[in-house]
Structure 1
């Protein structure tokens, strides 16, 4: 009788052990999810229980009777949970899941900057892809001591950023983001590009600022070098730029269809109808083609430009006031033809 009881106990222990082994080492706890990875985000400062809640919210609900002691034994259950974004393969077992979460692999994110108007827009875009919120980015970007330490002001900070796609760690801090932007800026402004800017009488920041005006005037890459040459002619001759996009920026009336006298008369440092030379900083993030247009401008004598008015987005150019008057007449005639005037 005793032998039968002992045998029964042994079999029970073996059964429990087999079940435990299967539950921990074999049974999948990460759902199949149609074969797709499950992305789990663990914010900085998360507790163990918060991580478990996050897993549950993503459909991952391991048996806590086995998971918790294994997590503790594998040094995963602790106060300072590793933050990160984890891409979990479907079908992972309890042990495999803990190994994945414990390794703290820093997942990357692609931060896409695409002609953002001002640095708060850059901050908002970075926050879409990275862990810190936009306020954290803006706060750093407005910190005058920090800006001074990296050689910028609030007006010139936008010249740091270039449109591109940047791979960064998901939990990169605002400081790390800025360090990456500085690195990319310095990489772009090679000695050759810096020398080309100098030939035009510009610093890299000034070339960027002028490029932002060129970009705002025309999206057509084909005429950007001509527009750049026109504004450089005006700068060299001491003629006010009189750029409509700068008046739009000064008035903060983005999206208007026509610039009126009240817009160009506004006393504002960014309004190039009122103040000669370049504005204190860029009015947008220019495309790389616009920057290259400023560095490699078309050589001509044009100092006037006027939209064609035929919905092409292109411009006619003139060397004098008489030619400009003719181009304005063409513009008006095209608007009338289209029923817009």
Structure 2
């Protein structure tokens, strides 16, 4: 073949090869490859093969993703977590996010749970570790702290919405709440508890009762005052929520109740039967309720009764007045069919 013809052909081949390489590089790096928005959950100790299986449903071309991932060294740098991928993103954009471990945080809502089992169940639904792993860790933590019952750990949790990584371990999560708890208990709050002659656990236990009694925040200091007055006089607290708790605890918290059905139930949580505070909190109270217990109103109230359709209570120091209030409220409940 003529030398003059070979040279142009050689350059043409080079151009074609360069074009093909460039096209492949562009496809792997800059071409849109994500079909739709999605949350990608990569578990701890996942392999690259695991990641490919998880991400494949959301990609147009898994091979181009694999090629780019290998070129960036991702198979050896896999991070666990909950990652958001967006429609129209390129392989490079997705892989860089995975390499950096830039997670989409979970909005974890801690509620006024009745018991630690309910808390562990919710944590297992929202985070990587399942509920059994969380519960076993809580039991271990309670044992190490010398608590006879895992329910005492309620005092370390505060109802609120928290932003956490999906793969946060039970150890790290509890350490975060313990730090919040320790910061909350300033010297001022400790002194207020001491002045009331209550331990921290007793403050939380009383706050849990107040939590279940109140509907309007402005009543919190008054309700706190009422129960403190009863405690100081050696009276039974006679709190309906404690009886409901005792009944529900006996049934494994499987049944919801709005009214007290059996004030004679034999349980240390039944404050109609036993004097003083229950042994442990009946729920996880909010910090502002704990503060209401530490800062009670100055009253002589000993009785309260809900007022129909208002969310408020009628307070009194007179037992006869209270009986009339209670009768009216029971009649109203019967009239609307609340059992």
How far apart, in 2, do the equivalents of 1:265 and 1:105 lie? 55
How far apart, in 2, do the equivalents of 1:106 and 1:258 lie? 45
Pair 257,147 (structure 1): closer, same or farther in 2 beyond 3 Å: closer
Larger mean CA deviation between 104-113 and 237-246 belongs to: 104-113
Structure 1 residue 87 displacement after superposition: 2.5
Question: CA offsets per residue over residues 134-159 of structure 1, 9 Å max, x none?
Answer: 2211121223xx21334544231111
2:171 equivalent to 1:175: yes
> SS at 2:106's partner residue?
strand
> SS at 1:202's partner residue?
coil
Divergent runs of 4+, >6 A: 336-341
* Aligned match of 1:223: 219
* Aligned match of 1:255: 256
On the 8 A contact 2:264/2:272 being kept in 1, the answer is: yes
How far apart, in 2, do the equivalents of 1:167 and 1:292 lie? 24
> SS at 1:77's partner residue?
helix
Larger mean CA deviation between 169-178 and 312-321 belongs to: 312-321
For residues 7-22 of structure 1, the aligned pairs below 5 Å read: 7-22=11-26
Larger mean CA deviation between 17-26 and 328-337 belongs to: 328-337
Structure 1 residue 336 displacement after superposition: 7.3
* Aligned match of 1:187: 183
Larger mean CA deviation between 328-337 and 163-172 belongs to: 328-337
Structure 1 residue 7 displacement after superposition: 4.1
> SS at 2:217's partner residue?
coil
* Aligned match of 1:276: 275
How far apart, in 1, do the equivalents of 2:260 and 2:134 lie? 33
**Unaligned 5+ residue runs, structure 2?**
none
Pair 223,95 (structure 1): closer, same or farther in 2 beyond 3 Å: closer
In the alignment, which of 62, 79, 91 is matched to residue 82 of structure 1? 79
How far apart, in 2, do the equivalents of 1:30 and 1:47 lie? 21
Structure 1 residue 100 displacement after superposition: 2.4
How far apart, in 2, do the equivalents of 1:249 and 1:338 lie? 23
Structure 2 length normalisation: TM-score?
Answer: 0.87
Question: CA offsets per residue over residues 19-68 of structure 1, 9 Å max, x none?
Answer: 2222123212123x4xxx543221112221221121112x224351x543
> SS at 2:282's partner residue?
coil
On the 8 A contact 1:55/1:61 being kept in 2, the answer is: no
* Aligned match of 2:314: 316
Pair 95,298 (structure 1): closer, same or farther in 2 beyond 3 Å: closer
> SS at 1:311's partner residue?
coil
**Unaligned 5+ residue runs, structure 1?**
none
Pair 317,45 (structure 1): closer, same or farther in 2 beyond 3 Å: same
Task: Count matched residues.
Answer: 329
2:69 equivalent to 1:46: no
Structure 1 residue 89 displacement after superposition: 4.5
> SS at 2:74's partner residue?
coil
Pair 258,76 (structure 1): closer, same or farther in 2 beyond 3 Å: closer
> SS at 1:175's partner residue?
helix
Pair 337,246 (structure 1): closer, same or farther in 2 beyond 3 Å: closer
Structure 1 length normalisation: TM-score?
Answer: 0.86
On the 8 A contact 1:24/1:94 being kept in 2, the answer is: yes
Pair 279,340 (structure 1): closer, same or farther in 2 beyond 3 Å: closer
In the alignment, which of 180, 192, 196 is matched to residue 192 of structure 2? 196
Larger mean CA deviation between 250-259 and 173-182 belongs to: 250-259
